[in-house]
Amino acid sequence: MQEVITKYQQPNARGYFGQYGGKFVPEILIPAVRALEEEYERASKDPSFNSQLNELLDEYVGRPTKLTFANRLTEHYGKARIYMKREDLCHTGAHKINNAIGQVLLAQRMGKKRIIAETGAGQHGVATATACAKFGLECVVYMGAEDMVRQKLNVDRMHLLGAEVRSVESGSKTLKDATNEAIRDWVTNVEDTFYIIGSVVGPHPYPMMVRNFHRVIGDETKRQIMEAEGKLPDYLIACVGGGSNAMGFFYPFIEDESVNIIGIEAAGFGVDSGKTAATLTKGTPGILHGSMSYLLHDINGQIELAHSISAGLDYPGIGPEHSHLHDTKRVDYHAVTDDEAMEAVKLLSKKEGIIPALETAHAFAWLENLMSTTTENQVVIVNCSGRGDKDMGTISENL
Partner 1 sequence: MNRITQKFKEKAADEKLMSLFITAGYPDLESTVEIVLGMEENGADMIELGMPFSDPLADGPTIQYSSDIAIKKGITIDKIFEMVVEIRKKSEIPIILMGYMNPVLRYGVQEFCDKASRSGVDGLILPDIPVDEDEIIREYAEANNLPLIHLVAPNSSDIRMKLADSKSSGFVYCVSVTGVTGARDGKEVSDSVDMFIERVRENIIGNPVMVGFGIKSHEDARRIASNADGFIVGSALINTIKNSYPKPEWKQELYSLVYSLKFGN
Q: Which residues are catalytic?
A: 96, 118, 385
Question: What letter would DSSP give residue 136?
Answer: T
- C-beta closer to partner 1: residue 303 or 381: 303
CB of 285 to partner 1, least distance (A): 8
CB of 331 to partner 1, least distance (A): 24
CB of 166 to partner 1, least distance (A): 14
Given a contact cutoff of 8 angstroms between Cβ atoms, the answer to whether 290 and 24 are in contact is yes
- C-beta closer to partner 1: residue 174 or 212: 174
Helices (H), the chain: 30-44, 47-56, 71-77, 97-109, 123-135, 145-150, 152-160, 175-188, 206-229, 244-250, 279-282, 320-327, 338-352, 358-365, 367-370, 392-398
CB of 23 to partner 1, least distance (A): 6
Which residues are near partner 1 by CB under 8 A? 14, 22-28, 30-31, 170-171, 176-177, 180, 183-184, 187-188, 190-191, 284-290, 295, 297, 299-303
- C-beta closer to partner 1: residue 157 or 176: 176
- C-beta closer to partner 1: residue 182 or 236: 182
- C-beta closer to partner 1: residue 4 or 28: 28
CA–CA gap between residue 57 and residue 55 (Å, rounded):
5
CA atoms within 13 A on the CB side of 127: 30
DSSP state string for 249-263: HHGGGTT-TTSEEEE
CB of 362 to partner 1, least distance (A): 25
CA–CA gap between residue 346 and residue 356 (Å, rounded):
9
Backbone angles phi, psi at 360, to 5 degrees: -60, -35
* Residue 215, C-beta contacts closer than 8 angstroms, at least 6 positions apart: 248, 251, 252
Q: State the burial class of residue 14 (Cβ atoms within 10 Å of its Cβ: 0-12, 13-18, 19+).
A: exposed
